[in-house]
Structure 1
Amino acid sequence: MADTNNQFIVTTTEHIPGKDYEVIGEVFGLTTQSKNVVRNIGAGLKNIVGGEIKDYTKMLDEARNVSVDRLKANAKEMGADAVVMMRFDSGSIGADMQSVAAYGTAVKFK
């Protein structure tokens, strides 16, 4: 992401071009989303006919955005200027919940 207008940088790369920084530590953003009855019915129908389950895709996209927002908040609380090496992890918790974690390394510009 660009550093224009003092935006907080979150990148999947190890280095930010033109920036010198020190590592502060690891940061995380976590969320768990639950499927609702309507989504479960729709998913059941899609299981029969096949195809993308758009409600689940939307739920996972929302969860990803929430986890990145929480990652940024965690990093800012630590005094970071950016996060490098950001990654995602996700998994199911039981049959009705999905967990998404964003994690990376918080850094402070020199």
Structure 2
Amino acid sequence: MADRILVTTTENVPGQRYEIIGEVFGLTTQSKNVIKNIGAGLKNIVGGEIKSYSELLSEARDTAISRLRNNAEEMGADAVVMMRFDSDSIGQDMETVAAYGTAVKFVN
């Protein structure tokens, strides 16, 4: 059911009026295994994209959005507007991602 909640980076949903419920968040912290960290270290020597870290960030982003939707559903929201991401490294092999926005309920 939470996958039905619209998540948008815009302030307005075309054709919809809504009331603000409140802020919602989706948080995750993830890391890769030791083998992938060694491969990333070797790639760092020659340069280029480190695909294991790109995958890590993509997985973390998807998890954060899923949790954001769940938080919005728990609040009775129909959508999340003004969604943004924030991320940061924790140590050398962990990444934390936060998705946040404003939960809204559509009104007629």
Q: Could you state the TM-score of these two structures normalised by the residue count of structure 1? A: 0.92
Query: 1:96 Cα shift?
Result: 2.1
Identity among equivalent pairs (%):
72
Q: Deviations over 1:26-81 (max 9, x none)?
A: 00000000121111111111111110000110011000000000000000000000
Moved over 6 A (4+): none
- Indicate the SS of the match to 2:105: strand
Task: Single out whichever of 31-40 and 14-23 deviates more from structure 2.
Answer: 31-40
Q: Is the 8 A contact 2:87 2:96 kept in 1?
A: yes
**Which amino acid is the alignment partner of residue 35 of structure 1?**
K
Gaps of 5+ in 1: 1-5
Q: Could you state the TM-score of these two structures normalised by the residue count of structure 2? A: 0.94
The match for 1:48 among 45, 49, 55 is 45
CA RMSD of aligned residues (A): 1.1
Query: 1:8 Cα shift?
Result: 1.6
Q: How does 1:2-41 map to 2 (within 5 A)?
A: 7-41=4-38
**Which amino acid is the alignment partner of residue 104 of structure 1?**
G
